[in-house]
Amino acid sequence: EDQVTQSPEALRLQEGESSSLNCSYTVSGLRGLFWYRQDPGKGPEFLFTLYSAGEEKEKERLKATLTKKESFLHITAPKPEDSATYLCAATGGTSYGKLTFGQGTILTVHP
């Protein structure tokens, strides 16, 4: 059974204090590793897809990386508006659709 585990459950940062979120996965034949951002009362918003170990993608202050066992979401010099829940999901085998989500990391950035 596919499993995705995120850590920490919650992270509190000061504005400008860089850090990383972790996503460990156990997926047979990884087809894609996804990062989403979810604000309260809204649906998850797509951030990145990573397909193979060694791949990296960046968007503004966010950078996602992938190894054979885990993915990291690095946040550089965060701002209060980066506060949200960050979700990691993975799919494997021949499926395009069956995403397994982690429980998420609640990020709070204080000014």
Which residues of this protein are in contact with other proteins, per CB under 8 A?
A: 32, 34, 36, 42-46, 49, 51, 87, 89, 95-104
Q: SS3 letters for 35-69?
A: EEEECCCCCCEEEEEECCCCCEEEECCEEEEECCC
Residue 18 vs 103, nearer CB to other proteins: 103
Residue 78 vs 84, nearer CB to other proteins: 84
Length in residues, the chain: 111
Q: In the complex with other proteins, which residue's Cβ is closer, 22 or 100?
A: 100
For residue 27, the minimal CB distance to other proteins (Å) is 14
Does residue 89 contact residue 105 with C-beta atoms inside 8 Å? no
Shortest Cβ distance from residue 99 to other proteins (Å)?
6
Rounded Cα–Cα distance for residues 75 and 102 (Å):
19
